[in-house]
Structure 1
Amino acid sequence: MRGIASRRTLLVCGGVLIVVVAVGGALGLGGNAEDATENPVQATGATAEVTKGTLTNATTVSGELNHGTETPIALRAGGTVTWLPPEGTVVKRGEPLLRVDDRPVVLLFGDLPAYRDLAEATAPPAPQKAEGDTTPPAPVPPVQPFTGRDVEQFESNLAELGYGGFTVDRTFSAQTTTAVKRWQKDLGAPQTGKVAAGDVVYAAGPLRVAEVLVRPGAPATGDLLSYTGTTRSVRVKVPAAEAGWAAAGTPVLVTLPDGKAVAGTVTSTGTAQAPDAAQPADGAAAPPSVQVVVDIQDQGALGTLDRAPVTVEHVAEKREDVLSVPVAALLALAEGGYGLEVVDGAGTRIVPVETGLFADGRVEVSGTGIEQGRHVRMPG
């Protein structure tokens, strides 16, 4: 029967589109756009405006800006702690990290911990013979120099600090001893030419003192302080099933507590971990999550922030200068596709539309007669 057509209205309920079928014969709605234009019906109910602007499909998660994981520093120097730096202090290569028995414990760079004392090898003293003893002296064993990768690591640091006159290699030589004495003199330490295992601490780079764990006067053993890196970054926990966007190199936008946005880049994504919190009372297990680390290249843009809550936004798709309407305004047409019930004077007509990006409860639309400022009827 001409003049009778079905209309299906798309409703949004809990994130799911529900199709509702209604009969429009009494309204005079035709089965195509031409019929609809010729037979407008009286406009009733709420309407929405067709707007022009930017649609963004983005993922936003909460995170924390900080200096990274805190790592404790343990010493095996013995003695008594006599000075510790204030929390937040940045310690560079060659600078004292603390003082033990009023001697500096110096930060050097490297991946091999200090595990032994280093010094130039010396021959043992000849045994004293009693007067009149004609026994031939025992052979003196050859001197075994201190050699190894730890020697090379230490000498590399000494050279980087400007002390020369020796060859950077795996042997602690007499020339190394001379350079060490000059270094110790500049530090205000006893000029022994020897480097005890407790005189230095090795790390990958400059350290920021995160927390002082003891007070001056405490024994210089065990964990004395903790440190972090010197660069601030953002860490967020994302459900593992939703972390597909968090690949290394992905650009993101980090919003600071004052509303300022700074550029960031995903540097790493951890493996899925079970939640730390107790299982909810309803017995439903929380999904595993991954930790995503975001680097911020412009550290100056962070101002004086040390630790702060932030939000991280990843834009998956962005469409600029497009027309859009609320998703709930879409109609699923009987002949296929989607349409809008456009308010035309005192009546309305169904206009077929092409849809584009869905984002933030709106949808990009285009079609004949769809223009900025038009009003469309919202299903009641």
Structure 2
Amino acid sequence: MKAGLLVLAALVIGGGAAFVLLNQPAPAAEPQAEVPATATVERRDLVDTQTVDGELIYADEQQIAIEASGTVTWAPDQGKVVKRGQSLLKVDRKPVTLMYGELPLYRDLYWGVGDGPDVRQLERNLKALGYDVTVDDEFTYSTYAAIKEWQEDRGLEENGRVTAAEVVFLPAAVRVKEVAAARGDKVRPGQKALAVSGTKLQVHMDLDASDQALARKGSKVSVELPGGETVAGRITEVGTVAEVTGERDNQTTTIDVEITLTKKPKTRLDHAPVEVELQSEKHEDVLAVPVEALLALREGGFGVEVVEGGATRIVPVKTGAFGSGFVEVKGDLKEGMKVGVPST
């Protein structure tokens, strides 16, 4: 009986307790963790990259000396592009004309001068400017007549003779970088009058010598320009002589690297800072996730948040190559899995 009473008492007590519990408000259900935005674990090739500083410049800078003597009556504005047949400068109102060619005008050219490549160079320019002349190494009457016609058009003395006071030969069109002989200045033969450069922008880098392996002639690069514009480029020249700058503990050793851009950039700024992404090593057929999928783990290292259905779990990973916004990952992952990324 006593045992029965105890059981009954226990039931009563239990019933009372149950009564109390049943009459209490039901606890709120715990909110489920929100499933993050996801990206897919991919198998792809990655190219390891490194970003270095560079400078946007107009290449082939040089000083132009003129052989005219007198007063500068016209000078170009800084940044002006001078093409074949146009004036680099005017001295005593007489133009000093740009023509294209690799050979400097080392002698006067006139009817009776000996044959030579400089004659052909002059005739080629006259022809390109629309004058009727035969292009060869011989200075003929047709050359003489074409020069006189050109001199008339340029407002020069019509004597059929071309001198270095009238013509400067350069390989191509130039951009005026600096005017050393301004309007009103007196000039004399051999004086530096202009600083000019090529008309195309390119990128120059003083690359740390320890990173020389990153710069291979012909390699493709990506260049971020002022304003966020990105342009593809190709390494066209890598210096072979190291340059040391600074003193003692602050010395740096660099090599010159030149990059040609594949298209004309929107900016025309000279000496503007840029960032160059160089390719170092290619990793083929690796598992990769977007860089933003990486999580820093409390115990050190990195992991990713694997999303399976409505559940998530953290999987530690080892990272490898970085490139194009992706990172190589090694761990308990398979191609096609979903991993969490920050929502946009």
Do they fold alike, i.e. is TM over 0.5?
yes
Shift of 1:340: 7.9
Partner residue in 2 for 1:206: 173
Question: Would you say 1:172 and 2:135 are equivalent positions?
Answer: no
Distance in 2 between residues matched to 1:150 and 1:267, nearest whole Å: 30
Distance in 1 between residues matched to 2:236 and 2:167, nearest whole Å: 31
Distance in 1 between residues matched to 2:196 and 2:278, nearest whole Å: 30
Question: Would you say 1:239 and 2:208 are equivalent positions?
Answer: yes
Distance in 2 between residues matched to 1:212 and 1:112, nearest whole Å: 24
Matched-pair contact (CA < 8 Å) for 1:81–1:220: no
Residues 247-277 of structure 1, C-alpha deviation per residue, up to 9 Å, x if partnerless?
A: 222111111222221211111111232223x
Equivalent position to 2:56, from 43, 65, 84? 65
After superposition, the Cα gap between the structure-2 partners of 1:191 and 1:368, relative to the gap in structure 1 and judged at 3 Å, is closer
Matched-pair contact (CA < 8 Å) for 2:304–2:339: no
Matched-pair contact (CA < 8 Å) for 1:110–1:153: yes
Matched-pair contact (CA < 8 Å) for 1:70–1:228: yes
Q: Which amino acid aligns with 1:71?
A: Q
Shift of 1:76: 2.0
Shift of 1:99: 1.0
Equivalent position to 2:125, from 157, 160, 163? 157
Distance in 1 between residues matched to 2:333 and 2:244, nearest whole Å: 52
Higher-helix-fraction structure? 2
Question: What's the secondary structure of 2:216's corresponding residue?
Answer: coil
Equivalent position to 2:261, from 296, 301, 305? 296
Residues 232-256 of structure 1, C-alpha deviation per residue, up to 9 Å, x if partnerless?
A: 1111111123121212221111112
Structure 1 segment 132-281 matched on structure 2, within 5 A: 145-164=113-132, 166-216=133-183, 217-221=185-189, 222-276=191-245, 278-280=246-248
Matched-pair contact (CA < 8 Å) for 1:325–1:363: no
Shift of 1:356: 6.2
Matched-pair contact (CA < 8 Å) for 1:326–1:363: no
Question: Would you say 1:74 and 2:65 are equivalent positions?
Answer: yes
Equivalent position to 1:92, from 50, 68, 83? 83
Q: Which amino acid aligns with 2:226?
A: P
Equivalent position to 2:108, from 92, 117, 126? 117
Distance in 2 between residues matched to 1:373 and 1:82, nearest whole Å: 71
Matched-pair contact (CA < 8 Å) for 1:119–1:195: yes
After superposition, the Cα gap between the structure-2 partners of 1:340 and 1:263, relative to the gap in structure 1 and judged at 3 Å, is closer
Distance in 1 between residues matched to 2:241 and 2:63, nearest whole Å: 25
Distance in 2 between residues matched to 1:368 and 1:86, nearest whole Å: 63
Superposed CA RMSD in Å reads: 3.6
Structure 1 segment 304-323 matched on structure 2, within 5 A: 304-316=268-280, 317=282, 321-322=288-289
Residues 151-195 of structure 1, C-alpha deviation per residue, up to 9 Å, x if partnerless?
A: 12111111111111x322222222211111111111122211111
After superposition, the Cα gap between the structure-2 partners of 1:86 and 1:350, relative to the gap in structure 1 and judged at 3 Å, is closer
Q: Which amino acid aligns with 1:255?
A: E
Structure 2 residues without counterparts, runs of 5 or longer: 1-37, 307-312
